[in-house]
Amino acid sequence: MNRPLSRRHFLSLVGAAGGSTAILQTGLALGLLPDTGPLRLADVQPAGNTNKRVLVLGAGMSGLAVAYELERRGFECTVIEASKRIGGRNLTLRSGDEVDEMGYSQVCEFDDKPHLYFNAGPARIPGHHKLVLHYCREFEIPLETYVNDNRNAYTQDDKAFGGKPVRIREYVTDARGFMSELLYKAVDRDVFDRPLSAGDKERILAFATAYGDLKEQGRYSGSDRAGYKSGGFVEHGELKDIHELSDLLDSDFWRYRMHFTEGEDQAMPVMQPIGGMDMIVKAFGKNIRSPIHTNAQVQSIQLQTNGVDVIYNHKGRRKKISGDYCFNCIPHHLLSGIYNNFSKEYAEALAAVEEGHLLKIGLQMKQRFWEADNIYGGISWTSQPIEQIWYPTHGIHAEKGVMLGAYTFGEEHGQFFERMTPEERIKSAIAQGEKIHPGYGSYVDCGVSVPWARMNHQMGCNARWSPDLRDSKFKLLQDPDGRHYIMGDQISYHSGWQEGALASAHHAMADMNQRILAESSAATATG
Amino acid sequence: MSYRRMFLVLAVAYIASFTTGARAADEPVIPPDEFVYCTVCHGVQMKGNPNIQAPRLSGMDKTYIERQLRAFKTGWRGTHENDLVGMEMRPMAAILSDAQITAAARYVNAVSSEPPPLTIDGDAGRGETHYASCAACHGAGGEGVPAVGGPPLTGLNDWYLARQLSNFKDGTRGSSPGDAYGAQMRAATATLMDDVAIRDVVTYINSLQSR
């Protein structure tokens, strides 16, 4: 059978081996299926003279977006925020900022310089996060690219390479070389059930050669992609030694870290606002005219037939406020501690979603030692609890820099740090960093830790939806209970991302708009 | 549902509606600024938040609250490696001065909320037998015996009671040297053979709330 390998035929082969998920992902890669589509802003009709009142609970990204959009359309909005500041988990720490951790209030002791800041919450904006980018454009927030991937950074694994750090460049080059060599030999020796056509065989061998930088007869014998041991400019370049395949496999790096930036959300280039992620929060704060009450803790949310009543404490007094609609981005797991009359199913769904334990540590370094080590931005990965080290893209060649000293994805690693005092966390993060950069600790001026599961008024990040829970509860929570909408990244398929928060806010506003239109047309019909 | 159980639920529901109605005149207590953070986890009026395993504390005995805040502060509670929830609590107590501990206990004692919902459905009859040895320190009606330092057991979340009994039993709580009351509870829970026994005794304590 010598017919050409069409994309659809290839998909059917892949599908047989990998199931429908493989088809979907491969289809996306081949451009056969639509991507995330155009910018979808909620189409909300002006309130006109209906004088609709909207209560916004929580001044996180979704709450701020709702207040900004609806007040511009004539809705009367009030924002009620429990903490001292707006922005929720969009938190940039600078000199003198308070870190409001439960029981361990810290003060950020970074030097007072524009480039010495730490994005303790969201830190990257991918190109397809259209709503975040829309607001950056609307508020004229200057952006710069953020380096999320750097082959000169390191991977360190206690179980491989004797625990020594290895440049990602070397690891990836050798891994690709070995895998390409395997592919080359398999194709060359016709090990498949069905023979490939001569043309296809030729091209796959050429592909493997190019992909892995193979030499004659498909042999991998090292590559300048891994970098030179010495020379390369005015002297003959000496190639780096090849790592043992067994070492590559002993390391966990290939499981997901090596492929981290293959994902659409992490792929280069990503962006960041110049001066800190909270430039977005500041812009919302500057542009919203509606009252935003901070230090105002919600006590009760009561759904009524045609609206929502909210009681909150503010400045030592108990206040009641009523709205036609309520948009709520309070963390879902805190709502059962607040009086409410949600339906049983809705309350149970809110309780069913678990909270994650993401944690970040920021370290101010006396010197940007990593730049002397050829590292300009990007991430080093380790099997230790700190998991990652980020090198700042901003402030290149300045004297000092704030680097990320830990970002824990695993719950176990998050809890490892949560149990410590802030001082112990910094000490531990330094000791772990030493395995990647000897002398690491000697550069540290000061550090700050942000364990989101211990942060006041948050107590968790991020909402963890299992596939079963998605099937059974997501739609229930995405839909309103009465005239109450729960929203935020927690009610999105992008939990932990600002785009999820904004998409959820726009989804809720669009839903409200449909209801208002339906009600007014019903009123016209009967009137 | 057995008739006995149904009666129990109806009785609790009736009393809950009565007490809620009676309390409507009560002005809810606005927490002092320094204790607002207590309500972030323990809920409005300290009514509890099972989602994050923070128990209801509304109206709890002042002496007992003070003692437990001190236990957290000294590390009798919240230091065992299996006690993740206790470890979450400990830093909050560690920052409190003696005067603040007294003030916090006064605040907790002053607030009220409706009785906690019943979530554990064991055998109250068997539980009553187990409870016989508890009564000396906690009172026949679970009202507490201040003279021997036994706190009231009514008004607590049943899931919280069960977790604490299990913690005492396996040594997660009450193992610290110097924690005399904890040691007593360690000995007392040794008579509860398994999780079923714990559920049964908690079910019996639930029934005391309605008397």
Instruction: For B92-138, write each residue's pLDDT tens digit.
Output: 999 999 999 999 999 999 999 999 999 999 999 999 999 999 999 99
Position A54 confidence tier, pLDDT thresholds 50, 70, 90: very high
Using an 8 Å Cβ cutoff, are A80 and A311 in contact?
A: no
pLDDT given for residue B87 in this prediction: 94
pLDDT in tens, A152-181: 999 999 999 999 999 999 999 999 999 999
Least confident of A33-47, A151-165, A317-331, B96-110: A33-47
pLDDT given for residue A6 in this prediction: 56
**Extended beta strands in chain B, E state:** none
- Residue B151 contacts A, CB cutoff 8 Å: no
Higher pLDDT: B27 or A343? It is: A343
pLDDT at A33 over 70: no
Cα A275–Cα A281–Cα A282 angle in degrees, nearest 5: 70
| Distance separating alpha carbons of residues A426 and A432, to the nearest angstrom | 10
| Distance separating alpha carbons of residues A192 and B83, to the nearest angstrom | 55
Using an 8 Å Cβ cutoff, are A503 and A492 in contact?
A: yes
pLDDT at A268 over 90: yes
Contacts of B51 in chain A (CB under 8 A): 333-337, 350-351
- How many CA atoms are closer than 13 Å to the CA of A432, on its beta-carbon side? 28
Nearest to A102 among B28, B37, B45 (CB): B37
Of the residues A299, A332, A420, the best mutation for testing chain B's interface (the one with the most B CB atoms within 10 Å of its CB) is A299
pLDDT given for residue A160 in this prediction: 97
Segment A491-497 shows an average pLDDT of: 97
**Collapsing DSSP states into helix, strand and coil, what is residue B26?**
coil
pLDDT in tens, A80-91: 999 999 999 999
| Distance separating alpha carbons of residues A525 and A518, to the nearest angstrom | 10
Angstrom distances, CA of residue B129 to CA of A218, A280, B188, B210: 79, 62, 14, 18
Nearest to B84 among A334, A415, A459 (CB): A415
Token readout for A173 is 């080059």
pLDDT given for residue A307 in this prediction: 96
Position B189 confidence tier, pLDDT thresholds 50, 70, 90: very high
Q: Do the Cβ atoms of B51 and A103 come within 8 Å?
A: no
Is-above-0.95 flag for pTM? no
Cα B118–Cα B91–Cα A85 angle in degrees, nearest 5: 90
Going by the DSSP 8-state scheme, the letter that residue A256 receives in this structure is T
| Distance separating alpha carbons of residues A388 and A229, to the nearest angstrom | 26
Q: Do the Cβ atoms of A459 and B47 come within 8 Å?
A: no
Token readout for A205 is 């061998």
Dihedral of the CA atoms A438, A442, A445, A447 (nearest 10)? Answer: 40
Using an 8 Å Cβ cutoff, are A351 and A404 in contact?
A: no
pLDDT given for residue A527 in this prediction: 62
Contacts of B87 in chain A (CB under 8 A): 418-419
